[in-house]
Structure 1
Amino acid sequence: MKKIALYLVLLAGAVVSVAPYLMTLNSAFKQPAQVLTTPAWDPALPVTLENIAQVWTEYDMAHFLMNSLIYAGLVTLGQVVFSTMAAYAFGRMSFPGRDVLFWGYLATMMVPQIVTLVPLFLIMREFGLIDSYLGLILPTAFGTPYGIFLVRQYFRTIPKDVELAARIDGAGTWTVLTRVVLPLSRPILATLATITFITTWNTLLWPLIITNSDATRVVTLGISALKGQYSSQYHLILAAAALALLPLIAIFLLFQRHIVRSIALTGLK
């Protein structure tokens, strides 16, 4: 009975979590009149692709998706590289003030993002990076406290004997990291890459502040632009949201096995 009750609770939580995504995908294929006149769970009959075609052609959603792909892809690459190096230094190397520096850096997670937006904008303006890809990418491309903490916790689960054996064979620090530690850390790196990509893809506030032209605007801004001050074309908003959702679903399904394994091994569950 306890197991039945547990699974019922988990099933209810899964339904609540997945329902908005299913409703978005279903409504994206409805006729414009049906979006507001029928319940969200009613199937899209007849199915229409006009909403997606209109968003794709008239509102240049392909360009916004490409901007988001460049933005999220480069930020993810930077975070995986630099977070890995910082996590190895904090987790496997010894140097004066290591723990104080790590916990001080980790404490910056308590600072709300809104507090740093204005200073970041002023810095980007001084470097002439307003409305550019570099202005979008640089603030988060060199690692985040969460990413470094996540990878560091995983590195600490790797037995020290493995690293010591490599050093006895003459391996240096860089060789140990790239040829011993990283091959054993693929699950956590896949997890970090997935979380970073999804978080960056969904970011709205920083792209809204740093960009001011369609040349660099990302998909979240493209979707928000479909909502007018006095009226909104909900069928187009839902179609654009469905297009933005599909890449995230594909990435999660591709890496879900690594995510579950890394969370179990790091004890973060």
Structure 2
Amino acid sequence: MSSIQILDVKKAVLNSMTEEEFANWQVEQGKQVIYHQGCYWQQTLTGFYEPLHWLARLSAEQATCPVSFSWGFRAALRDQNATAANGSIPVHLLSNLQNYSLHILSANRRKHLRQCQKKVNIFQLTSPKLLQEQGYEVVISAAKRTEYLKIPSKTEYLASLTNYVDSKRRLILVGLIGDKLGGYISGYAVSGTAYFEHLYISTEAITTNINLGLVFEFVQACQHSDTIHELVNGLHSPEDEKLCIFKDGIGFSVKHIPARVQMNPIIAQLIRWRYPYKYYRLTGRKERK
């Protein structure tokens, strides 16, 4: 494996962008960004808006809809404005980032991590060549196993790699089993909050516990930054019990970030009735059984 493509993971550092830098990066990638009340917003669903840095804690004055016509918006609030919240953002959040270590993990998870470290070599990726050669097979395998992802064509996948490797703004860690790619993880950070972006694991590599190894090393890279203080591991999906147990077991407990949520009542009722888990992720409100 060429040393040009990979670097020692122990030296990996995730850089944290400012919100303006993040907004400019997203515009470069073709996204529409709206500047409103000192914050950058995006349309995450047709007609529904959220801050581009979606765990940015806004003041009550900032947390207003950025456009004249929409069916809703959601924004996290600062702690001092929590009384203005009428909902929450339920996320798996590692808030004690600098205290994260092997001791955070259960004895069983520590055993799994050591098994991974014996079987998998993890590096920081600095060139798209490895993903161009082996990444598509990993994504296809992960998509078929989880049934969460839309399966791209190979042409679509290769096109998505254009400017994907950007060490100043995105950190990519790869796990190699011999010379074969077993999986990879990517993420970025904005104003001190890091986000997992993609985690793809091939089915045949699952038994090596490569997913745990990649997540653990990504946390270490965040710790190497002087500015990152929290790491987001996705929205809470209580319908996927195994995934929730895994995330909680590696230190990403469920936190409800106070938020202001505004939705058209008719659309809100439709989502609540047909898609209760989506409604929960949008509002933080669970249905009573």
TM-score w.r.t. the length of structure 2 is 0.25
Based on CA coordinates, which of the two structures has the bigger radius of gyration?
A: 1
Determine which structure has the larger helix proportion and give its number. Answer: 1
TM-score w.r.t. the length of structure 1 is 0.26
